[in-house]
Amino acid sequence: MAGNVREFTDANFQAEVLDSAEPVLVDFWAPWCGPCKMLTPTIEELANDYAGKVRVGKMNTDENPQVATQHHISAIPTVMLFKGGQVVDKFVGVNPKERFAAAIDKQVS
């Protein structure tokens, strides 16, 4: 994972995402998914833009099916924003950076 982008797994999801004191943006993806690859630069930019304010990471749904199943991920890419262990926003498909930023700004301001 590049720079500030974390790697979330079934094993660390509770500690890294649900128990986080700061908001967490999670990109559910898979290596074979073309639109997921298109979204990667946006996720990396958000991780850099919000470093120190928001955790940003990716979760490979092929390698970590447990959390994806628990959160009813049926299409990828799906990006979910968590705060206080709860989903506060959800995006399916490729979305513009501004849409993610607006959702994050609501949670950090």
Q: Going from the N-terminus, what domains does the chain have, and what CATH number goes with each?
A: 5-108 (3.40.30.10)
Q: 78 — alpha (psi -120 to 50), left (phi > 0) or beta?
A: beta
Active-site residue (options: 36, 56, 68, 73):
36
Q: Are 82 and 71 in contact (CB under 8 A)?
A: no
Residue listed under structure tokens 């955790």 = 55
The CA distance from 65 to 94, in Å, is 21
- Across the chain, which has 109 residues, the per-10-residue mean pLDDT values are 86 97 97 97 96 97 96 96 97 96 93
Instruction: Give pLDDT, residue 3.
Output: 76
Which one-letter DSSP state was computed for residue 25? E
33 is catalytic: yes
SS3 for 45-90 is: HHHHHCCCCCEEEEEECCCCHHHHHHCCCCCCCEEEEEECCEEEEE
The rounded distance, in Å, linking the Cα atoms of 56 and 53 is 10
State the catalytic residue, choosing from 33, 88, 94, 101: 33
